[in-house]
Amino acid sequence: MARSKVFDEELVLRNAMNLFWEKGYNATSAQDLTESLAISRSSLYDTYGDKHSLFIKALRLYRTERFDSTMKEASETPDAEAWLRMLFESVKADALGSGSVKGCFMVNTAVELAASDTEVADIVNNIMADFDAAARKVIKKGQENGTITTRHSARALARFVFNALNGIRVTVKFNTGKQVFEDIIAVCLSALKA
């Protein structure tokens, strides 16, 4: 007779996400996982599969929790400037709020694994494509109503925003000065203004 699980699978997955986010994939051992998640190795593997499978599930959870709602807001916003400002301000708040230098789980993962792990690369590339499509629509609205510059195409500006946001997420790994982020954001928003 199989024993029933005595742990909350969703909570364990969220804790695994935070551990991978903090340490990275390669630096997180099976021992780290079992100790940090407070479950046995057999429960870990029976429930989530191997370390890579758990990592992919954690990465997908991060996407759902941190990315998908922002993309939904993009499709609903009537104000391109406000949405773009919200994006930059939320990244700044993340950078300054936790007292930690974890950065962005997705960006950290892309830097660590995307070149060597096709499954990770697919997830990261899908996020980039989804962001590009959503930001392009918002920026196009702003261009049409005269609040966003038309010096560049909506596609080029969406890619600029994506790169700038990820640059901020990398900068937090080595600099957490508020003024640094405020300067970057001010220049980015002024470059987007009509």
Each residue's pLDDT tens digit, 85-107: 999 999 888 877 766 678 889 99
Mean pLDDT across 42-71: 93
CATH classification number, 9-192, choose in 2.40.50.140, 1.10.357.10, 2.10.260.10, 3.20.10.10: 1.10.357.10
Q: Tell me, what's the pLDDT at 20?
A: 97
Q: Tell me, what's the pLDDT at 71?
A: 86
> Which of 37, 63, 65, 177 is closest to 128 using CA atoms?
63
Q: How far apart (Å, rounded) are the C-alpha atoms in residues 190 and 30?
A: 46
Give φ, ψ of 97 to 5 degrees: -80, -35
Give the predicted TM-score (pTM) of the model: 0.89
Q: How far apart (Å, rounded) are the C-alpha atoms in residues 84 and 157?
A: 11
Contact in structure between 95 and 87 (CB atoms under 8 Å): no
Contact in structure between 44 and 34 (CB atoms under 8 Å): yes
Q: Mean pLDDT for the chain?
A: 92
- pLDDT surpasses 90 at 172: no
Say how many C-beta atoms besides its own lie within 10 A of residue 47's C-beta: 16
Buried-state track 4-22, b at ≥16 Cβ within 10 A, e below 16? eeeeeeeebbbbbbbbbbb
User: Of residues 95 and 76, which shows the higher confidence score?
Assistant: 76
If DSSP codes are grouped into helix, strand and coil, which group holds residue 181? helix
| pLDDT tens-digit map of 5-41 | 678 999 999 999 999 999 999 999 999 999 999 999 9
- pLDDT surpasses 60 at 1: no
- pLDDT surpasses 60 at 2: no
CB neighbour class for 1 (10 Å; exposed up to 12, middle 13-18, buried from 19):
exposed
| pLDDT tens-digit map of 129-161 | 999 999 999 999 999 999 999 999 999 999 999
* Tokens at 192, concatenated: 């987007």
Contact in structure between 28 and 20 (CB atoms under 8 Å): yes
Q: Tell me, what's the pLDDT at 86?
A: 94
